[in-house]
């Protein structure tokens, strides 16, 4: 019995309000895993540096009393959270949806409309990351969600309304605009002034 396999390379079509159809290639599992491993290596270096700093400060820390141990444990937990969550939010917000790992492997997080990811959306998708990475950093929950959803979205992406795509946009598909809706040259100035800042960013990324 023949079975229908999920395509290795899927596309996401984004139609702007000006009837411009852009096609993104959805990032595959392999490239996302490589990007994640790269980012984890950077986070691991940051955490090791943090531990070394705490060891260097040990003489100035409170003595090994219950209160001192609790204080040190709280600092470590907060620092780990700041690294594992703040790293992604900071870079995705400042680098237009990319972390160093995603940039190396030419991936980018975008909103479902094809627009740049915001700090808020990044904060949400990476907060849910702690659910996606279960059990214990094996990412089985997130991997299952990526394989089960049409756009390869983990739970964090579904909640935040984001998609991970390949860096370069695909060429727009032919006949994306019906002849009856095509714009003539006299309407071009109106179209240009109607574009929002986010739409200009999408088109600028497409032209790169």
Helix (H) or strand (E) holding 81: helix 66-81
Q: How far apart are CA 32 and CA 151, in angstroms?
A: 13
Residues in the chain: 208
Q: Identify the pLDDT of residue 48.
A: 92
Q: Does residue 90 contact residue 64 with C-beta atoms inside 8 Å? A: no
Q: Does residue 107 contact residue 165 with C-beta atoms inside 8 Å? A: yes
Q: Strand, coil or helix: what is 85? A: helix
Q: What are 49-77's pLDDT values in tens digits?
A: 988 887 787 666 655 667 767 777 788 88
Q: Is 175 left (phi over 0), alpha (psi -120 to 50) or beta?
A: left
**If you average pLDDT over every residue of the chain, what do you get?**
79
Q: Identify the pLDDT of residue 8.
A: 43
Q: Identify the pLDDT of residue 23.
A: 80
Q: What are 104-116's pLDDT values in tens digits?
A: 999 999 998 888 8
Q: Identify the pLDDT of residue 175.
A: 43
Q: Does residue 107 contact residue 169 with C-beta atoms inside 8 Å? A: no
Domain ranges of the chain: 27-168
Q: Structure pTM?
A: 0.74
Tens-binned pLDDT, residue by residue, of the chain (208 aa): 444 444 445 787 776 666 677 788 899 999 999 999 999 999 999 999 988 887 787 666 655 667 767 777 788 888 889 898 999 999 999 999 999 999 999 999 999 888 889 999 999 999 999 999 999 878 999 999 999 998 899 999 999 999 999 986 555 554 444 444 444 545 544 445 455 666 666 656 555 5
Q: Identify the pLDDT of residue 51.
A: 85
């Amino acid at each position: 019995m023949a079975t229908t396999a999920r395509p290795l390379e899927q596309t996401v079509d984004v139609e702007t309000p000006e009837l411009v159809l852009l096609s993104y290639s959805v990032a595959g599992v392999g490239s996302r895993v490589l990007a994640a491993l790269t980012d984890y290596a950077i986070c691991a270096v940051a955490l090791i540096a943090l531990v070394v700093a705490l060891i260097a400060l040990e003489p100035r820390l409170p003595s090994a009393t219950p209160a001192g141990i609790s204080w040190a444990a709280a600092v470590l937990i907060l620092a780990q959270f700041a690294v594992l969550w703040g790293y992604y939010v900071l870079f995705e917000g400042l680098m237009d949806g990319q972390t160093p790992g995603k940039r190396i492997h030419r991936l980018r997080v975008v909103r479902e409309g094809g627009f740049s990811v915001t700090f808020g959306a990044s904060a949400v998708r990476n907060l849910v990351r702690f659910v996606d990475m279960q059990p214990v950093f094996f990412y089985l929950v997130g991997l299952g969600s990526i394989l089960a959803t049409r756009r390869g979205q983990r739970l964090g992406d579904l909640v935040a309304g984001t998609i991970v795509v390949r860096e370069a946009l695909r060429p727009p598909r032919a006949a994306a605009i019906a002849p009856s809706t095509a714009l003539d040259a006299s309407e071009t100035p109106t179209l240009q002034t109607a574009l929002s800042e986010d739409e200009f960013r999408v088109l600028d990324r497409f032209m790169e």
